Amino acid sequence: MHPTLNIAIKAARRAATVINRASRDLEQLRVEVKQPNDFVTEVDRAAEEAIIQTLREAYPNHAILAEESGETGPEADTEYQWIIDPLDGTTNFIHGFPQYAISIALARRGVVEQAVVYDPNRNEMFTATKGGGAFLNERRIRVSKRLRLQDGLIGTGFPYRQFSNVDTYLAIFKELTQKSAGLRRTGAAALDLAYVAAGRLDGFWEFGLSPWDMAAGSLLISEAGGLVSDLAGESDYLATGNIVAGTTKVFFPLLQLVQSHTTGKIEA
């Protein structure tokens, strides 16, 4: 295993300790509203601090882009940047709904090279190194072998902060309900992407995500043999915030269906 990946795993486990401890007494949790339907807790911040401290000990010169603290680092243009979501699925966590994860990725010159998505509820550690494959608890994973969108289980996430695209979402949802085996909206994009890599979902789409929602999961999928793009079929999803992913056979019809509803309609 790549030594850098080992550090990311260590950081994820430290964050999980913070999260698991807090999950035992949710009623004592202090919750702040960043904007409507967008929450942050002291757990998000403490978990992020545990991750950053672990990464800084090993790589003091790397830049860090983290959800709660923003961009930090010795220089903004450093070659290496860690992209962190300490608790993806905060709303789920607050409600005791056990679908959330820690997401940590390392990008070199904008290209993600290391990825960790850790589900502390199930003790499932999804990892990938660019060119080295994707793994779940050290066992190799691959995207599913499903060949048709009609047979695919598709994940998504609905707008919850900004609702200008909600009608477009509902139109895609309506058509996919009829053209897939089912849709799932679980509320943690990083984990949904990991599930595509592990073959539990056959495809995924969402708009308006942040880099820390997608960075680790996108590498997991590509290393597991799947495809990932933005709405134009290009690789700018970390910049645009819009992502479509899936198995090699499900990806293209899913992308075409999403494109048929979104051309010129998606607001950033």
For 210-235, the pLDDT digits (tens) are 999 999 999 999 999 999 999 999 99
170 and 182 Cβ atoms separated by less than 8 Å: no
Q: For position 62, what pLDDT does the model report?
A: 94
Q: Vertex 66, ends 63 and 70: CA angle to 5°?
A: 85
Residue 35 corresponds to which tokens in the numbers above? 């904007």
CATH 3.30.540.10 residue ranges for the chain: 3-141
pLDDT band for position 163 (50/70/90)?
low
Per-residue CA distances from 180 to 175, 249, 263 (Å) = 9, 13, 22
For residue 33, pLDDT beyond 80:
no
pLDDT in tens, 91-139: 999 999 999 999 999 999 999 999 999 999 999 999 999 999 999 999 9
Least confident window among 31-45, 145-159, 212-226, 254-268: 31-45
Question: Looking at 47-165, which runs of residues are DSSP E strands?
Answer: 63-66, 70-72, 80-88, 101-108, 111-119, 124-129, 133-136, 139-141, 153-156
pLDDT at 36: 62
End-to-end CA distance of the chain: 38
Check pLDDT > 90 for residue 244: yes
Q: 1.10.1840.10, 3.40.190.10, 3.30.43.10, 3.30.540.10: which CATH number matches 3-141?
A: 3.30.540.10
Query: Above 70 in pLDDT, residue 39?
Result: no
Tokens of 57: 């000990």
Res 38 pLDDT > 70: no
Which of 102, 10, 103 is closest to 55 using CA atoms? Answer: 10
The pTM for the full model equals: 0.93
Phi, psi angle pair for 232, to nearest 5° = -90, 0
pLDDT at site 31? 79
Distance from the Cα of residue 62 to its chain's centroid:
21
96 backbone φψ class: left, alpha, beta (φ>0; ψ -120 to 50): left
- List, by residue range, all CATH 3.40.190.80 domains of the chain: 149-262
pLDDT at position 258 over 60: yes
Give the fold, CATH level 3, of 149-262.
D-Maltodextrin-Binding Protein; domain 2 (3.40.190)
Cβ–Cβ contacts within 10 Å for residue 25, how many? 8
Query: What's the pLDDT at 158?
Result: 79
pLDDT tens, residue by residue, 42-80: 888 999 999 999 999 999 999 999 988 876 766 555 799
Please, which residues have CB within 8 angstroms of residue 229's CB and are 6 or more apart in sequence?
A: 235, 237, 243, 244, 245, 251, 255
